[in-house]
Structure 1
Amino acid sequence: MKYLLVSAAIAPFLLITPAAAQTTPAAKPAEKVVQGAGAKANAEAAFSTGVAKGRDRLDSATSTSALRASEIETLGARSLGEVLRNIPGIRAEYAIGEGNANYSIRGLPLSGTGSKYVQLQEDGMPVLEFGDMYQFGTDMFMRADLNLAAVETIRGGSASTFASNSPGGVINLISKTGDTEGGSVAATYGLDYGEKRVDGEYGYKISDTLRMHVGAFYRQGEGPRDIGYTGYKGGQIKANVTKTFENGYVRVSAKYLNDRTPGYLFVPLMVSGSNADPKFTGPANFNPKTDSLLSIHNSNVLTLDRNNNIANDDVRDGLHAVVKSVGLDAQFDVGGWTISEKFRASDISGGNLTIRPIAVNRAATLATTYGGPGGTLSYATGPLAGQAIASPATLNGNGLLTSSLQLDSKIKSLDNIANDIRASRVWRVGLGDLTTTAGFYKSSQDYATYLSFLNVLASVAGDGQSTLINVATAAGVPFTQDGYLNGLGGFGHRVYDMNYDVSAPYASVNYRVGKIAVGGSLRYDMGKVNGTLYGSELGGGRVGVTSFDINRNGVISTAETKVAILPLGQPGNVDYDYHYLSYSAGVNYRIAEPLAVFARYSRGGRASADKILFTPAVNYDTGKLVNSDSAYDTVKQAELGLKYRAGGVTVNVTGFSAKTGERNSQVASGADGSAQILNIVRSYNAKGVELEAAVRRGPFSVTAGATYTDAKISSDATNAALVGNKPRHQADFIYSVTPQVELKNVTFGANVIGTTSSYAQDTNQLKLPGYKLVNAFVQVRPTERVQLMLTVNNLFNKLALSDVEQAAIPATGVVLGRAYAGRTASATLRYTF
C-alpha cells in the first residue's frame, strides 16, 4: 500500500515532464540547469541542502558547511564519523567503528544513541526517516567512497522546515554524476592493521545530453583492532544516469551495499586519581586502543528466535548492512516555475551482533557473587574449555571478568520509501525578487526487528582471546551454562513490527531587495504509527520468562530456569497519530560583496519513534499514547551570524541559543552490575559560538572549525537533582585544524581534532579528559595520473575516550569505557584516467 501511495503521488509529474521537455522553448544551455551532485559550479553558489533554492552562502541566513571530495581525501578518514568530525558544529562519537556512531549538532544532547536531531541524507533524501533507531543508526547503511563528490551540512535554520525529523540539522552526502569524464582506481593497504581495499569510479558522457557515473569498493580484513577474525568484509556499488533537456534533467540512480564491520563497544579501563582529575589506563595484557572483547571464543550465540525456536547466531557477523535502493531526481522549468522531484525506495536488511559489557569486577569477587562462598570458575570456551581456573586473581594477568550482553539484533525490514516534490518561482515585486516555494513530502518507514540480549560472563584478554567463563557453587552445582548467566536472554527479548507514515506539506517565501533578504518557512508534519510488539517488558500480564531446556540435554539447569521467550499470543498494540508545526524565519544583510550578517529563529520537531516503545508512554491494549506530548520533541533555536569571504580568506561565525525537549532511553549499568534501560524525559538549554575559517596563501592553506557550548539540563521528570548539570559528554570546546602545503608533486599536512574535558554521565562527577589527536598525511604525485598517499591516524598513539559508563570512580578502580583507535597507518595507490 505504501508503494502505491507514493507512486500515485509522483505519477502525474512523470507524465508531465517529457511533454514539458519537448514543448517548452528554452534558451539555457543544458549544463546550466543541472543542479545535481558533482556539478563543477562555484562551490559557494551550489549549496542546496536544507534550503528552498540553492544560492551563494553569503546570501542565505543559514549556518552551512561543505566538504568537497578533494578535501575529504586529505583528512585520512576511514569512516563517515571521521569525515564528519571535521565539520564545525557537529559532535561525532565514532569509537564504535563504521556504523552506529553518535552525532549531534552544537548544543543538542546525546543522551541516547544515533543521531536523534540530525537527519543523514544521500543526494537530498533520507537514508532512514529516524536517525536513532534502537541498535540501527543511519550511518550503518552509508559509506564514504570514491562516489562521494561532497558532504553538505546545515545546522539549525531552515533544516527544520525542509526535512522532517531534522530540527538540529541535515548532513547530506552528494554523489558524483559523471559531468566530468574519466575515473580512477585505488588500492589501500593497512600497513600496521588488517585492511585490504579496492575502490573504483568512472564518469562518462554517452552523448551531449546523456551521462552516467558508476563507482564501487570492496574491502576485507581484521580491522584496526585485534579480534582474531575477519571483521571487515564487503562493499558497495552505486550508479546513476542523467538525461538533460533544454529546460531540465532527469536522473535515475541505484545502490547496492552489502558490508560487514565489527561493532566496538565498551571495554574495561583502570582508573586512579579523583573524579575531577582521573587517570585512565588499560588493564594488564589488554590495550583499549587496539583490543576489544570481540573474539572467536565468545562469538557463538545460543538463543530463541522470533518464533521461540532454538537458534544459533554468530557475533562475527557484526554490523551487517544490506541496502538495495533505487532513486529518481528530476528538475524542470515549466511556465516560469521550477519543479523538482526526488524519490527513493530502499530495501534494508541485515543485523547487529556484538558484545556489550555492563559490569566489570575482579574475577574472584564475581565467583562469590554468582556462586556464593567458595564459588569456582572454569573456562566455558576457548582452548582451555572445561579446565578450572585455579587462580582467579591472575586470570589473563589482570584478574578481571565482565558481565556482558551478547547483542543479537536482526532486521526483518527497515524498508524506507520517500518522495519529495516542490515547486518554486521567482516573482518581481517592487524593487526586489520574491521567491515562493511549496512542496509535499511523503514517506513510509518500517521498523521490523528482533532483539535478543543474552547475559554472559567473559574474560578480559587482548589479541582477540577473550573467552566465556562458567561459575559453580562450592558444591559443584553450575550457576552458568556454557558461560551464560541467568536467563539466556532474560534481560531483553523483543520483536518490533512497526510502520511510521509521514506526510508533510511545506512552504517558504523569501524577499530580496538590494542587500537585504527576508524569508520564512513552515512545515506541518502528520504522522501515523501502527504495529505490534512482543516482549515481557510490556507488562500487563505479558509473561516472557520461563524454564526451557536450551541445550536439549533433558535437564533444566539454574541458567535455564529464567529463559526469555516471546509471549506470542499477547502482543502489544501501537496505533496513534501525531502532528506538529515547524517554522523558521531569518534576515540576511549583504553588507558588502565579501561580507554578510544574518539572524534567524526556528522551531522544529522530532517524532519520538521507537524510543517511546516498551515505556509507559503507550497503552499497549489500545495502542494509544497515554499523553499526546510523548509523540514528538521540539527544538527552538536562535542564531546570529557573520560571514566573510575574500582573497583566499573565509570566516563564518555563528552565535546560537537552543532549547530542547527530549524523550529518550539509554542502556546503563546499575550499581549492582545489572543492565538497566533508563527512560529519559527532560529538557535542555544551550548557548554558544561556532567558528569556521579557512586561509589560502600560495601553496599553504589551513582550515579550522571550533564550537564553544554552554549547555545545562533545565528540567528532568524523574531526577530533579540533575537540573543545572551539564549533559553527559558535552565538552565546552571542540575543534579541528587542518594545515597543509600543496606543491606540484607533493601535498603534506596534518589534521588535528580535539576537545576539552566533559562529564561521563549527567550526575557531573567523573570527568572524561580532553584530548588532541593528530592525523598526518602526505601525497606524492610522481606523474600526472599516479598518486601515492600515506595516512597515519592518531600519529602519537594517544588514549582518547569517547565515553565511560560509570558516573564516578568505583571502589574497584575499574570502569567500562570506549577509546578511539590507536595509531594506524595506511598506504593508497591511486591511478586516474
Structure 2
Amino acid sequence: MTINAHRASFYALALAMLAAPNLALAQDQSPEQQPEQAAPAAGGLDEIVVTGRASASELRKAEASFAITTLNDATLRMSNPISAAETFKQVPGFWVESSGGEGSNNVRSRGIPTDGFSSVALQENSLSVQYDGGLGYMSPDQSFRFDETIARVEAVRGGPASIFAPNAPGGVVNFITRRGTDNPGGLVKYTWGDYGLHRVDAYYGTKLADDWGVFVGGFYRQSNGLRDMGFKAEKGGQIRATLNYEDGRNSFLLDVKHIDDKTPFYLPTPFTFDGEGKIIDVPGFDGRRGTLAGPENRRVPIKLVGRSFEFDLTEGSHTVSTQLTVEGSFAASDSVTFETRTRYRDSDMQRNAVFPTGSVQTLAGFTQSIRTAALAAFPGATNLVARYATDGAPFDSSSNGNGLVVGGNLLAVSIPIRELITDNRFTTQFDAAGTHSLAIGGTYGWFSYDYEREMGTTLLDIQDNARRLDIVAVNAAGQTVGRVTDNGFQRYGSLFDDAAMSVRSYALYAGDEWQITPALRLDFAGRFEKIDITGLVAKKRTVNLGDPTTLADDQVITAATGFDRVDRSFDDWGWTVGANYQFSSYAGVFARYTDTFRLPSAGEYNGNPLRTDMRSVPIKMAELGFKYGSPLLNLFVTGFHTKFEGVTFTDNVFNSQTNQFDQRFVVADTKTLGLEVEAVIRPVRFFDLTVAATWQDPQYKGFVYTEIVNGQPVLRDFDGNQLMRVPKLALRAVPAINLFDGRFRTELEVEHYTKRFPDVANSQVLPAYTVLNLNARAQLTEQLALSANVTNLTNEIGLTEGNPRAGSFIGGDAGARYFLARSIFGRTVRASVSFRF
C-alpha cells in the first residue's frame, strides 16, 4: 500500500475516533472514571507486576526478585513525556539520549555497550514492538508513539528480562494500554507548545457487557519541531481500537493500531569554547534550538547513474504502520492456563535527514585541504572561491559571523518491513515442598525487510537552517574554469546500499517460581534461541557520470551486476536464578545471577554481507537488592555487576578526502559495577520527594588494536577507559508540592549527569550538566484539568553525544576549537487542557 493510501485510511479512522465522544455522552459515568491526581512514581508496592516473568501466580512489586520500576497513569500524565525514550528517564539504571526527537533515540542499561534499543526490549502489552531492536535505522521507537491510550509502564532492568523477551539483556520496558473492561470512560485533551505544537489526544472506553469492553483512542498533532527546520516538521498521529473480554479466568484482546506520522531526526550541531574553556554557541548558530537542516535542503535532486533521486527532507522519519495484536489467556483446568500473544505489522519507514559529517572547518582551512587536487583537475585554475549554490552570492571568512563550513550528508533510507511475533506458554501451579508456579513456552519471530540507502555529500555553511556552498576553480582573471562541487554537492552518490533480508527466530523457555515458605521464594528460568538470517545484498561499483566541468560526479557508488548472498545461523542458551526473602510484606532482599546472550542482528549485514566476525555475545549479570515500603518511605536499592564478552565494536569514520566512510572493527569486553537507588519520601501530606539515581563504573576491557598512521603501526590500548557516552552518575530528584486536597500538584525535576566521553579513547569530554524541568497540574473539577510542562528551565547546553561520524574510537573533534555535538533541547513550554467524561 502506498503512503498516500495509508494516509487516507488513517484520516478515515481518525474521523471515527473523534466521533466516539458523541457516543460517550449517552453513557453513565462510573466512579472508576474519576481522575486520580499525580502520585510519586515509585509508589504502588501492592501493584501486580506482569513484566519480566512468566508465571501463573500473581506477584506484588514489593515481592519481586528483580529490579522493577512502575509508572502509573497519574505519574505519566504529570510528566507528559514527548517520546517513549523520555519515560525511560524516570527509571534508574537507564542512560537515555532523547535528543534525537520522538524516535531513533539511544537507551543503555547497566553498562550496555551498544546503542539504540539493541539490548533493551520496548514492549507493548508484554509483546515486543520489534523482535530485534538493533536493526539499522529501524529503532522500535520509530514504530511506537506515547499517547493517552497508555495506562501504565513497567520497566525491568537486567534479571529475567532476557529469558522471557528477545534481545533484552539490558531490560524490558513494557507500555500497557487501556482496555474497555476497565471502564476508563472518555477523554479529550488539547496540548499547545511554544514551538508551533498543536496536538489533540482522545479516547473512549466502556464495558459492552459484564465481561466485554471496547476502547478507541489516539492522537493527531503538528509542529515546527523542537529544532525549527523552517517548515512543519512534525505531522501525523495514530489511532487504535480494542475489543477485549475478561471474566476472571479467561481473557481475550483484539487490538488494531495504525500510525501515519512524520517526525524529524535531530543530529549534532556546532559548538565552540569561550575564553575560560566553557562550551558556548558558535556565532550565528543557536545550539539549543537550531539545526543545520532547513528549507534550502527541503527538496534537492541527487544525480545518480541513469537517474536523479529527489531527496525530500520533509519526510523526516516517516512511519506508516498498521499492526494487529491478538492475545488471550484460557484456563484449561483449575491449575493449567494457556497464554498466547501474537502480533503482525506491516510498516513502511522512511528516514531522511541531513547528517553533518567530518569536522567543522574555517573556509580557508577547507579550501587549503583540497587546493592541490582541485587546481590540478582544472588546467588554468589559479584559485578557489566559495559561492552559495542557489544564488551565486559570495561566501567568505566573515559570512554568518563565523566563516565556517561543514560537510552535510543528505541521507535517505527506505525500509518497508513485515513482521510476525507470537509468544505462547502454558502455566501451572502445584504443591511440592512449597508451591511451584511453572511456565513452559516458546516465541517465534519472522520478519523480512528491504533496505535501500542513497546519499549525496554536500558542503554547508554554519547557520540555523544551513545553505549549500559551491567551491569553484577560477583563473587569474577570475573566470570559472571548473567546479569542485556541483549544486553544493562534493560527491553525488557517496553511499549506496540495496538489500533484502529475511529472519526467522525460534526460542524455547521455561521457568519456575518456587515459594518455599511464606518468606522465601526461589525462581529459575532458562532460554534457548536460534536465529536464521538470509538475504541478498547488491554488489557495488563506482561510476564517473562524465561531466568534465565538475569533480562532484566522478565517483558515484551504484549497483553492480549480481548480489552477495547472506545465509547465517546462530544459537545460544541462557539461564537465570534468583532468590527473594521477605522480612515483612513491605521489606525484603533479593539476589540474582544471570548468564545470557545477545545473538547477531540481520542489520549487521545490510552493508557488509561478507563479514564473518559476528557471533553470539555472552553476557553475565549479578545483582543484589533491598526494598522497603512504609507510609513515610519507599526505598529500592540494587547493586549490580554486568559483563559483556567479545563485543564487536564498529568505527565508521567519514573520510573528507574520499567523501566516503572508512570502517574498522575491534572485538573487546566491557565490565560495569554499579548501584541503583529509587526512593519516595513523604514527610507530610503536602510534600514528597522522588529520587532515582544510578552510580556505575562502566569500563572497556581488552580494547586493544593496531592502527597504521603515516605508514607506521601504532598500538591503541583503551583498556579500562569509560564506556562512551555513559555517565558515572545519573541523578534525578523531584521535589513536589500537593495542595487543595491533592487537586493541585507541582514538581521540579532536577536531573544531573556527570561527564561523559564521545569516543572509546576518552579523548574529548562531554561536560557534566544539570537540567531543570517544571511540571504542574490542576484538577479544576472532576472532569476538567489543566497542566503545564516547562523543560530545560535554565536553557542549559547539555551534550549527549559528540560527532560519531568523525570517529567513535578516537574522536576527530578532540582538541578542536569548533566541534560537532548533539545537545538536549532548549527551553520549551507546553500547556494542556483535558476533559474527562
TM-score interval (norm. to shorter): 0.7 to 0.9
Shift of 1:489: 2.0
SS at match of 1:140: helix
Post-superposition Cα deviations, 1:333-379, rounded to whole Å, max 9, x if no partner, equal 21221211000000011210001111210123223333557211111
Q: Which 5+ residue runs of structure 1 have no aligned equivalent?
A: 1-30, 32-40, 537-543
Q: Which amino acid aligns with 1:692?
A: E
Post-superposition Cα deviations, 1:664-700, rounded to whole Å, max 9, x if no partner, equal 4353445868644443422101111011111234132
Q: Which amino acid aligns with 2:620?
A: K
Match of 2:718 in 1: 722
Q: Which amino acid aligns with 1:560?
A: D
Q: 2: CA distance between counterparts of 1:814 and 1:535?
A: 38
Question: Any conservation in 1 of the 2:330–2:338 contact (CA below 8 Å)?
Answer: yes
Question: Any conservation in 2 of the 1:701–1:740 contact (CA below 8 Å)?
Answer: yes
Please state if 1:748 is matched with 2:733.
no
Match of 2:623 in 1: 639
Question: Any conservation in 2 of the 1:76–1:775 contact (CA below 8 Å)?
Answer: no
Q: 2: CA distance between counterparts of 1:280 and 1:587?
A: 48
Match of 1:442 in 2: 444
Match of 1:557 in 2: 550
1:142-541 superposed matches below 5 A: 142-178=144-180, 179-190=182-193, 192-245=194-247, 247-271=249-273, 278-303=277-302, 309-335=307-333, 336-359=335-358, 360-372=360-372, 374-381=383-390, 385-389=391-395, 392-411=396-415, 413-430=416-433, 432-462=434-464, 464=465, 466-475=466-475, 476=480, 477-486=482-491, 488-490=492-494, 492-514=495-517, 515-536=519-540
Q: 1: CA distance between counterparts of 2:651 and 2:268?
A: 14
Match of 1:667 in 2: 652
Shift of 1:561: 1.4
SS at match of 1:72: helix
SS at match of 1:561: coil
Shift of 1:555: 6.1
SS at match of 1:749: strand
Question: Any conservation in 2 of the 1:547–1:556 contact (CA below 8 Å)?
Answer: no
Indicate how the Cα distance of structure 1 residues 51 and 278 shifts in structure 2: closer, same or farther if over 3 A, else same.
farther
Shift of 1:516: 0.8
Post-superposition Cα deviations, 1:570-611, rounded to whole Å, max 9, x if no partner, equal 211100111100111111111222211111111222222135
Q: Give the counterpart of 1:693 among 679, 686, 709.
A: 679
- TM superposition score normalised by structure 1: 0.87
Shift of 1:632: 2.2
SS at match of 2:431: strand
Q: 1: CA distance between counterparts of 2:739 and 2:184?
A: 25
Q: Which amino acid aligns with 2:668?
A: R
Query: Which deviates more from structure 2 when the two are superposed, residues 337-346 or residues 712-721?
Result: 712-721
SS at match of 1:434: strand
Query: Which deviates more from structure 2 when the two are superposed, residues 372-381 or residues 509-518?
Result: 372-381
Shift of 1:406: 1.0
Match of 1:761 in 2: 759
Indicate how the Cα distance of structure 1 residues 790 and 726 shifts in structure 2: closer, same or farther if over 3 A, else same.
same
Match of 1:576 in 2: 568
1:817-832 superposed matches below 5 A: 817-832=821-836
Question: Any conservation in 2 of the 1:315–1:353 contact (CA below 8 Å)?
Answer: yes
Q: 2: CA distance between counterparts of 1:319 and 1:181?
A: 32
SS at match of 1:760: coil
Indicate how the Cα distance of structure 1 residues 707 and 485 shifts in structure 2: closer, same or farther if over 3 A, else same.
same
Match of 1:654 in 2: 638
Q: Give the counterpart of 2:133 among 123, 131, 134.
A: 131
Indicate how the Cα distance of structure 1 residues 209 and 99 shifts in structure 2: closer, same or farther if over 3 A, else same.
same
SS at match of 1:87: coil
Match of 2:39 in 1: none
Q: Which amino acid aligns with 2:286?
A: N
SS at match of 2:252: strand
Question: Any conservation in 2 of the 1:682–1:715 contact (CA below 8 Å)?
Answer: yes
Question: Any conservation in 2 of the 1:368–1:375 contact (CA below 8 Å)?
Answer: no
Q: 2: CA distance between counterparts of 1:60 and 1:304?
A: 58
Q: Which amino acid aligns with 1:687?
A: L
Question: Any conservation in 1 of the 2:95–2:108 contact (CA below 8 Å)?
Answer: yes
Shift of 1:399: 0.8
Q: 1: CA distance between counterparts of 2:152 and 2:776?
A: 21
Post-superposition Cα deviations, 1:103-156, rounded to whole Å, max 9, x if no partner, equal 01122124xx31221111111111112212212211111111000111111111
Shift of 1:187: 0.6
Post-superposition Cα deviations, 1:159-216, rounded to whole Å, max 9, x if no partner, equal 11101111111111111112124111111111x3211111111111111111011111
Structure 1 vs Structure 2: percent identity of aligned residues?
A: 25
Indicate how the Cα distance of structure 1 residues 380 and 371 shifts in structure 2: closer, same or farther if over 3 A, else same.
farther
Q: 1: CA distance between counterparts of 2:408 and 2:539?
A: 21
Question: Any conservation in 1 of the 2:570–2:600 contact (CA below 8 Å)?
Answer: no
Question: Any conservation in 2 of the 1:181–1:205 contact (CA below 8 Å)?
Answer: no
SS at match of 1:321: strand
Shift of 1:332: 1.6
Question: Any conservation in 1 of the 2:49–2:61 contact (CA below 8 Å)?
Answer: yes
Shift of 1:711: 1.3
Shift of 1:82: 1.7
Q: 2: CA distance between counterparts of 1:227 and 1:633?
A: 40
Shift of 1:478: 0.2
Indicate how the Cα distance of structure 1 residues 332 and 189 shifts in structure 2: closer, same or farther if over 3 A, else same.
same
SS at match of 1:81: helix
Q: Which 5+ residue runs of structure 2 have no aligned equivalent?
A: 1-31, 33-42, 373-381, 707-715
Q: 2: CA distance between counterparts of 1:354 and 1:778?
A: 35
Question: Any conservation in 2 of the 1:299–1:316 contact (CA below 8 Å)?
Answer: yes
Question: Any conservation in 2 of the 1:299–1:315 contact (CA below 8 Å)?
Answer: yes
Q: 1: CA distance between counterparts of 2:339 and 2:251?
A: 10
Shift of 1:288: 0.5
Q: 1: CA distance between counterparts of 2:579 and 2:420?
A: 35
Shift of 1:409: 0.6
SS at match of 1:415: strand
Q: Which amino acid aligns with 1:380?
A: A
SS at match of 1:612: helix
Indicate how the Cα distance of structure 1 residues 81 and 702 shifts in structure 2: closer, same or farther if over 3 A, else same.
same
Shift of 1:278: 4.7
Question: Any conservation in 2 of the 1:371–1:479 contact (CA below 8 Å)?
Answer: no
